[in-house]
Amino acid sequence: MSAVRLRATVLVATASLGLGLGLASAPVSAAPAPSLASETGAKRYVYDVRTGYTTDPQAAKEVKALLAKLPKDWMAKRNAFLAKQGLPHGPIQGAVESYLKGETCQPTALDGYVTRLLNGIPINRLFVLAILGVFDYPTYDAVFYGSKTNPDYALTPGTTGKVRGTMAVARGFWDIKNGDIDVMAMTSDMVVDRPRVIRIISLMFGTTSAEAAELADLLIPLIKDTTALRGGNNPIFSLNAFAFTAEGEQDPIFNGISDRIVMGEGIIKALRDTGNIEVGPQMVFSHEFGHHIQLENHAYPATTSPENTRMMELMADAYATYLDAHRKGLNFNMDRVNKAVEVAHLVGDCSTDSNGHHGTPQQRARAAAWGAALAKKNGVNVLPSKTVQALFLKALPGILAG
Site of interaction with Zn ion (CB under 5 A): 313, 316
Query: At its nearest, how many Å lie between Zn ion and the CB of residue 285?
Result: 11
DSSP-derived 3-state class of residue 359: coil
Nearest alpha carbon to residue 307 among 353, 345, 347: 353
DSSP-derived 3-state class of residue 257: coil
For Zn ion, the closer of residues 223 and 323 by Cβ is 323
- d(C-alpha 333, C-alpha 218), whole Å: 51
Burial bucket for residue 329 (CB in 10 Å: 0-12, 13-18, 19+): buried
For Zn ion, the closer of residues 12 and 63 by Cβ is 12
For Zn ion, the closer of residues 92 and 126 by Cβ is 92
For Zn ion, the closer of residues 124 and 321 by Cβ is 321
Query: At its nearest, how many Å lie between Zn ion and the CB of residue 284?
Result: 9
For Zn ion, the closer of residues 99 and 300 by Cβ is 300
DSSP category for residue 259:
P
Query: At its nearest, how many Å lie between Zn ion and the CB of residue 287?
Result: 6
For Zn ion, the closer of residues 96 and 316 by Cβ is 316
Q: Taking the CA atoms of the chain, what radius of gyration do you get in angstroms?
A: 20
For Zn ion, the closer of residues 268 and 316 by Cβ is 316
Q: Let me know: does 249 contact 85? Beta carbons within 8 Å.
A: yes
- d(C-alpha 257, C-alpha 250), whole Å: 13
DSSP letter string, 336-394: HHHHHHHHHHHT----TTSTT----HHHHHHHHHHHHHHHHHHTTPPPPHHHHHHHHHH
DSSP-derived 3-state class of residue 352: coil
Query: At its nearest, how many Å lie between Zn ion and the CB of residue 346?
Result: 14
CA distances from 310 to 84, 136, 192, 367 (A): 21, 22, 34, 11
For Zn ion, the closer of residues 316 and 367 by Cβ is 316
- d(C-alpha 250, C-alpha 153), whole Å: 26
- Specify the length of the chain in residues: 402
Q: Let me know: does 42 contact 22? Beta carbons within 8 Å.
A: no
Query: At its nearest, how many Å lie between Zn ion and the CB of residue 89?
Result: 12
Query: At its nearest, how many Å lie between Zn ion and the CB of residue 2?
Result: 23
Nearest alpha carbon to residue 378 among 325, 332, 336: 325
HSE, side-chain direction, 13 A CA sphere, residue 198: 11
Query: At its nearest, how many Å lie between Zn ion and the CB of residue 6?
Result: 13
Query: At its nearest, how many Å lie between Zn ion and the CB of residue 291?
Result: 6
Query: Over the range 330-351, which residues count as b (16 or more CB within 10 Å of their CB) and which as e?
Result: bebeeebbebbbbbbbbbbbbb
For Zn ion, the closer of residues 191 and 367 by Cβ is 367
Query: At its nearest, how many Å lie between Zn ion and the CB of residue 207?
Result: 32
Residue type, 297: N
